[in-house]
Structure 1
Amino acid sequence: MILSTSVQLAKTYLEKGGVIGLPTETVYGLAGNIWDQEAINKIFTIKERPKSHPLIAHVAHWEQVESIATNIPAMAQLLADKFWPGPLTMILSAKPNVPSEATAGLGTIAVRMPEHPLALKLLSALPFPLVAPSANPFGKISPTSAMHVFSYFKGKIPLTLDGGNCKVGLESTIIGFKDDAVVIYRQGIISKDDILEVIPNTAVYYDIDNQSNYPGSHRAHYAPKTPLIITDSLAETLEKYDNSKIGLLVLGSDTESTYSNIAAIRNLSKANDLKEAASNLYAFLHELDSLNLDMIVAELFPASDLGIVLNDKLIRASSQFDQHA
């Protein structure tokens, strides 16, 4: 696999039906031409992704949205004006000619405009949108650097466009539109309150448990090879596993190696900044997962808006929730 910053090289591979690693502000994607069914099939095969999971289309301008979607609600345009380019994905009615492989046969297409200069430069140079799920084997930790993609798929894809580390580091918020309301299927960095600021007189509600009509909805997800245990009492959990070699994931704590079983510590944000923690979460999981530990232990995040989102990522990645009275 080539790691390159050449948009022209990436364009050449994509126009020939290839699949490449694509940087975005959220996570890296595994990208192919939305109109090329063979390229779409390659994505599913390389990623080992179930065909029942739809893909997200990535666009550079509104005309590309109109080339793949129809009956677009007016509020979708308002939200795009505010949040695009950025980490908001909208589920829209797909045009009949959009390959069913990209939509999982649901008749809808998830669309977003990534906030990454290389991605936008590439998308602007292409005569077609790109479909791109996260560039990791199905269920594994999402990639936030080109090297993560390289370690997953070397020998399987020809190129990853190297855009550095992902700024947001957390998957996009996914919304849909139903009966003049906005439905949040997956929350990322953009929250319900953010959406209501744009369309204040609109009902906005959650349907997080819906398992079928949005990308990345699988219960088990983002998982490292090393067992991940999340806890609401760090001290008790560390004592419980005192004979294990542990990697510790903490937030805003000055935790030192006071326990002999702590082999490595990664502090997501010494300033207790949840946005900083989000941008570091997957990268630090990758680092700890490479250290041949017995387990990774992570504290639950505060139950704020973004904290709940981050806890959901941990729970989906975890092998156990260590709850203490």
Structure 2
Amino acid sequence: MTEAHPDIQRAVELLKAGELVAFPTETVYGLGADAMNPAAVAKIFAVKGRPADHPLIVHIPDASQLDRWAREISPAARAVAEKFWPGPLTLILKRHPDVPDCVTGGQDTVGLRVPNHPLALALLRAFGGGIAAPSANKFGRISPTTAQHVRDDLGDAVAMILDGGPCAVGIESTIVDMSSERTTILRPGMISAFDIGIFLGRMPAEKGNAHSVKTPGSHLAHYAPRTPLLLVPDDTVAVAVRTALGKGEKIAVLAPYPAPIEHPLIVAWQVAPTDATAYAHALYATLRTLDAAGADLIIVQRPPWPAVIDRLMRASAGSGT
């Protein structure tokens, strides 16, 4: 897919006209608008039902555009950008004065990322600027990892959906705050704190309750199915299943082994992958399948990976509404 492709040309025209374009990244599909057009950015918040003080990530074509969007960029931050971009990592930096408040949630920082997807990169290069893009779904709900997920969630509210196939990573980017001397992980992702620490020669801090920077995906309730979701340790799945069945509840289950019994109230049982990459890749599509199964309760065995646990905990907190 190149910049000359007619879909890219049409998407650029729509973005420059202030319209919304959904596009694939390696993490999830984004709902994009011209980041320098406040009226266009306002459409993102309206379509998603997103709180106006919730900042957006600006997607840029390469690290050479950092100075157009940020200031006081440390050598370490530039090095991290060169190392991990394109890729599933968002840098929080001091915002350039020209960045609109609606993008940053009124904060003095901005989130920047270069996505690792050929269609997204072609779009960004052809557009020539920054595209503000949260996940292309209703706020707080399960993130989309296919173009069909976007259509299901947003319908005709988006002027165009670029279909780049299923997202390779499947969960949102790692967010790293490098706006001050202290490097802090604000949201875990598939690029781990260990990966960043090894590269920098010092381990980043984890976000504390006193941390002042608001970030995408930081709400307790997020990525959530409408069916109540119960996240349980691996040694209590059988107990949770028996308890639900004893109450006469229809259940859907995600666990790393097949269903040990057949029961008419077990309406879906998905066998979870046993490695982090495959689990993350399938997570949101699997949650959508389980949510559509007609269950009264989704039971998920807690996996061992921090980034996936983060998404499942938030999904559990926001589920059932």
Task: Calculate the TM-score normalised by the size of structure 1.
Answer: 0.91
**Equivalent residue number for residue 55 of structure 2:** 54
1:256 to partner: Cα distance = 4.3
Measured after TM superposition, the shift of residue 84 of structure 1 is 0.5
- Counterpart of 2:244, as a letter, is Y
Aligned to 2:306: 308
CA contact (8 A) 2:222 2:318 kept: no
1:288 alignment partner, SS class = helix
Aligned to 1:40: 41
Pairwise mapping of residues 146-225 of structure 1 onto structure 2 (< 5 A)?
146-177=147-178, 179-200=180-201, 202-207=202-207, 209=209, 210=211, 212-225=213-226
2:237: which partner in 1? 234
Distance 1:309 1:62, change over 3 A: closer
> Is 1:248 the equivalent of 2:250?
no
- Alpha-carbon separation, structure 1, partners of 2:10 and 2:42: 22
**Runs of 5+ consecutive residues of structure 2 not aligned to the other structure:** none
Taking the aligned partners of 2:213 and 2:223, their CA distance within structure 1 comes to 18
- Are residue 267 (structure 1) and residue 252 (structure 2) matched? no
* Partner amino acid, structure 1, of 2:277: K
Q: Which runs of 5+ in 1 are unaligned?
A: none
CA deviation string 1:188-210 (max 9, x = no partner): 0011110022111x351101544
Structure-2 separation of matches of 1:161 and 1:297: 33
Find the aligned partners of 1:261 and 1:97 in 2 and give their Cα distance.
57
Q: Matched residues in 1 for 2:38 and 2:318: separation?
A: 39
Change in 2 beyond 3 A, CA 1:119/1:208? farther
Deviation (angstroms), 1:10: 1.1
Match of 1:276 in 2: 278
**Which residue pairs with 1:143 in the alignment?**
144
Distance 1:320 1:140, change over 3 A: closer
How far apart are 1:155 and its partner, in Å?
1.8
Does the residue aligned with 1:63 lie in a helix, a strand or coil? helix
Deviations 1:55-81 (A, max 9, x none): 000011223222111111111111111
More helix as a share of residues: 2
Q: What residue identity is the alignment partner of 2:27?
A: T
Q: Which amino acid aligns with 1:265?
A: W
TM-score of the superposed pair, with normalisation by structure 2:
0.92
Q: What is the CA-CA distance between 1:220 and the residue it aligns to?
A: 0.5
Which one is further off, 38-47 or 290-299? 290-299
Contact 2:58 2:132 in 1 (8 A): yes
Contact (CA 8 Å) 2:253, 2:268: kept in 1 or not? yes
Give the equivalent residue in structure 2 for 1:116. 117
Distance 1:5 1:319, change over 3 A: farther
Of residues 90-99 and 175-184 in structure 1, the stretch that sits farther from structure 2 once superposed is 175-184
- Across the aligned residues of Structure 1 and Structure 2, the Cα RMSD in angstroms comes to 1.8
Residue 43 to residue 248, structure 1, CA distance change in 2 (3 Å): same
Look up the match of 2:299.
297
Partner SS state of residue 174, structure 1 = strand
**By how many angstroms is 1:246 displaced?**
1.1
User: How many residues of Structure 1 are paired with residues of Structure 2 in the alignment?
Assistant: 310
The change in CA–CA distance for 1:12 and 1:277 in structure 2 (over 3 A counts) is same
Does the residue aligned with 1:52 lie in a helix, a strand or coil?
Answer: coil
Cα deviation digits, residues 96-154 of structure 1 (max 9, x gap): 11100001111111000000000000000012110001111111001111111101111
- Percent identity over the alignment is 39
Shift of 1:179: 4.8
Output the CA distance in 1 between the equivalents of 2:6 and 2:142: 24
Change (3 A) 1:51 1:190: same
Counterpart CA distance in 2 for 1:5 and 1:283 is: 29
Provide runs of 4+ in structure 1 moved above 6 Å: none
